[in-house]
Amino acid sequence: MIHVGIGYDVHQLVEGRKLILGGVEIPHTKGLDGHSDADALMHAICDAVLGALGCGDIGQFFPNTDPWWKGAPSKIFLEEAARQAQRQGARIVNIDATLIAQAPKVMLHAAAMKANIAAALGLDVKKVGIKATTNELMGFIGRGEGIAAMAVAGVDRPD
Ligand code: MG
């Protein structure tokens, strides 16, 4: 039985931080702020997988009040989501995600991001979709104050 999960995340763009999306460090004047490496794309995907598994969300596994996860690379969150799937005897079928960023041009890095996400989830890279859009200069994303990501995951579960 295929179960579908949805994930959404957003982080603020600030000076003095690296911009990391899909595990790729992307050259930019600002980076995403957060407790971990603030990889909004991986966080949204993690929530999509956990959602399909009925496992709650990323904050339940990795509270942002826990100093252990400070500066953590977000691939460990995806690795945990994959472990949860394995524990249920479930198989992640596919991931599809959209990045919403006014700048920089993130699609130049799509292949590298897909490879990192696929590796962290133990998936074939062809099962990972990444798309990007600007916010047409509107709102906080349009003003370059933050970057958001949305994701869905298809998971084949025995129940
Ligand atoms: Mg986040």
Per residue in 96-139, pLDDT (tens digit) is 999 999 999 999 999 999 999 999 999 999 999 999 999 999 99
CA of 11 to the centre of ligand 1 (A): 6
> What pTM was estimated for this model as a whole?
0.97
Query: Is-contact 156 91, C-beta < 8 A?
Result: yes
pLDDT reading at 159 higher than 90:
no
Give me the pLDDT at residue 62, please: 87
Q: Which domain holds residue 105?
A: 2-156
What are the start-end ranges of the H helices in the chain?
40-53, 58-61, 75-87, 110-121, 139-142
CA of 106 to the centre of ligand 1 (A): 18
Into how many domains does the chain fold?
1
Give me the pLDDT at residue 69, please: 81
The predicted-structure confidence for 42-59, as pLDDT tens digits, reads as follows: 999 999 999 999 999 999
pLDDT reading at 12 higher than 90:
yes
Query: Is-contact 132 40, C-beta < 8 A?
Result: no
The predicted-structure confidence for 61-95, as pLDDT tens digits, reads as follows: 888 888 888 888 999 999 999 999 999 999 999 99
CA of 39 to the centre of ligand 1 (A): 7
CA of 88 to the centre of ligand 1 (A): 25
Give me the pLDDT at residue 109, please: 98
**How would you label 115-133 residue by residue, b for 16+ Cβ within 10 Å and e otherwise?**
ebbbebbebeeebbebebe
CA of 17 to the centre of ligand 1 (A): 15
CA of 119 to the centre of ligand 1 (A): 20
CA of 27 to the centre of ligand 1 (A): 20
CA of 126 to the centre of ligand 1 (A): 25
Give me the pLDDT at residue 120, please: 98
Sort 61 into a burial class: Cβ within 10 Å, 0-12 / 13-18 / 19+.
middle
CATH code: domain of residue 59? 3.30.1330.50
Mean of pLDDT values over 3-14: 98
> Other C-beta atoms within 10 Å of 8: how many?
14
